[in-house]
Chain A
Amino acid sequence: MSRVIGIDLGTTNSCVTVLDNGQPTVIPNTGGYKTTPSMFAISQDGKRLVGHLAKRQAITNSKNTVFAAKRLIGRRFDSPEVQKSIDLCPYEIVRGPNDDPRIKIGGKTFTCPEISGIILREMKRVAEEYLGEPVQEAVITVPAYFNDTQRQCTKDAGKIAGLEVLRIINEPTAAAMAYGMQRNQDEKIAVYDLGGGTFDISILELSEGVIEVLATAGHTFLGGEDFDRRIVGHLVEWFEQAEGIDLRTDTMALQRLKDAAEKAKCDLSIRESSEINLPFIASDAQGPRHLNYELTRDTLEGLVSDIVDGTLKTVEACVRDAGVQAQEIDQVVLVGGQTRMPLVQKAATDFFGKRPHKGVNPDEVVALGAAIQGGALVGKDQNVLLLDVTPLSLGIATYGGHFARLIERNTTVPVSKGHNFTTTRDNQSAVKIRVLQGESENASDNDLLGEFVLSGIRPAPKGEPEVEVSFDIDANGIVSVSARDQATGKEQSITVNATGTLSDEEISQIIEDNELYEVQLKG
Chain B
Amino acid sequence: MSEPGEGDEGRKILGLSAGCDPTALQLNPAEGFLLSRIDGQTPWRLLREIGGLMPEEVDLCLETWLARGIVDVAGLEEKKEPPPSQAPPLETRSERSRDGGAPPAPHEPPEAIDESQIDRDLDLSAEVQRSILEFEARLHRPYHELLGVERNADVKQIKRAYFNLCKDYHPDRYFRRKIGDHAGRLDRIFKKILEAYELLSDPTTRAEVERSLDAVPPPPGGGPQRPLSKLERLRQRMPFKIPEAVMNERRAKAADFFDAARFAMENQNYVEAASSVRLAIAFDPFNDEYKKAFAEVQGKATEMRAGRLLEEAEGMDSSRMKEAYRLYEETLLYRPHDPAVNDKAAELALEMGELDKAFEYAERATLHSPQVGRYHRTLARVYRSKSDAGHAVRELQNAIELDPGDEEAKKMLDLLRPRRGARGGN
Contacts and interface: CB of A to CB of B under 8 A. Distances in A.
A379 B175 contact: yes
Interface in A372-388: 376-379, 382, 385-387
Nearest to B202: A323
A209 interface: yes
Given A414-B171, A474-B187, A385 B194 contact: no
B159 A385 contact: no
B167 A209 contact: yes
Contacts of B170: 385, 387, 475
A60 interface: no
Interface residues of A, number: 21
A207 interface: yes
Interface string B163-181: 1101100111101110000
Interface string B248-269: 0000000000000000000000
Contacts of B164: 208
Given A207-B159, A386-B172, A414 B166 contact: no
Contacts of A207: 159-160, 163
Contacts of A387: 166, 170
A431 B164 CA distance: 42
- Among A212, A376, A475, max chain B CB count under 10 A is at A475
A414 B175 contact: no
Contacts of B194: 412, 414-415
A379 B191 CA distance: 22
B290 interface: no
Nearest to B156: A186
Contact of B187 (A379, A382, A385, A475): A475
Given A414-B191, A415-B194, A474-B187, A210 B175 contact: no
A440 interface: no
A414 B194 CA distance: 9
Nearest to B167: A385
Contacts of B166: 210, 385, 387
Given A207-B160, A207-B163, A385-B166, A377 B175 contact: yes
Nearest to B175: A377
Contacts of A205: 159
Contacts of B173: 382, 385
A273 B187 CA distance: 57
Contacts of A474: 171, 187
B334 interface: no
A475 B171 contact: yes
B169 to A, nearest CB: 10
A416 interface: yes
A378 B175 CA distance: 6
B128 to A, nearest CB: 12
Interface in B139-174: 159-160, 163-164, 166-167, 170-173
B190 interface: yes
Nearest to B166: A210
Contacts of A208: 160, 163-164, 167
Contacts of A416: 191
Contacts of B190: 414
B192 to A, nearest CB: 10
A261 to B, nearest CB: 43
Contacts of A376: 172
Interface in A465-498: 474-475
B172 A210 contact: no
A414 B166 CA distance: 11
Interface in A188-212: 205, 207-210, 212
A496 to B, nearest CB: 17
Contacts of B159: 205, 207
B103 to A, nearest CB: 37
B175 A415 contact: no
A416 B194 CA distance: 10
Contacts of B191: 414-416
Contacts of A382: 173
Interface in A328-378: 376-378
Contacts of B177: 379
Contacts of A166: 175
Nearest to A476: B171
Given A207-B163, A387-B166, A414 B187 contact: yes
Contacts of A378: 175-176
Contact of B172 (A209, A212, A377, A415): A377
Contacts of B175: 166, 377-379
A377 to B, nearest CB: 4
A210 B161 CA distance: 12
A476 to B, nearest CB: 9
B27 to A, nearest CB: 25
Interface string A405-444: 0000000101110000000000000000000000000000
Interface string B17-46: 000000000000000000000000000000
Nearest to A382: B173
A403 to B, nearest CB: 21
A475 B167 contact: no
A474 B188 CA distance: 10
A390 to B, nearest CB: 12
Contacts of A412: 194
A248 to B, nearest CB: 50
A415 B159 CA distance: 17
A418 B383 CA distance: 73
Contacts of B187: 414, 474-475
Given A212-B163, A415-B194, A475-B171, 18 more contacts: A166-B175, A207-B159, A208-B160, A208-B164, A209-B167, A210-B166, A376-B172, A377-B172, A379-B176, A385-B167, A385-B172, A387-B166, A387-B170, A414-B187, A414-B190, A416-B191, A474-B187, A475-B170
Nearest 10 interchain pairs by C-beta = A475-B171, A210-B163, A377-B175, A207-B163, A210-B166, A416-B191, A412-B194, A414-B187, A385-B167, A475-B172
30 contacts: A205-B159, A207-B159, A207-B160, A208-B160, A208-B163, A208-B167, A209-B167, A210-B163, A210-B166, A212-B163, A377-B172, A377-B176, A378-B175, A382-B173, A385-B166, A385-B167, A385-B170, A385-B172, A385-B173, A387-B170, A414-B187, A414-B190, A414-B194, A415-B191, A416-B191, A474-B187, A475-B170, A475-B171, A475-B172, A475-B187
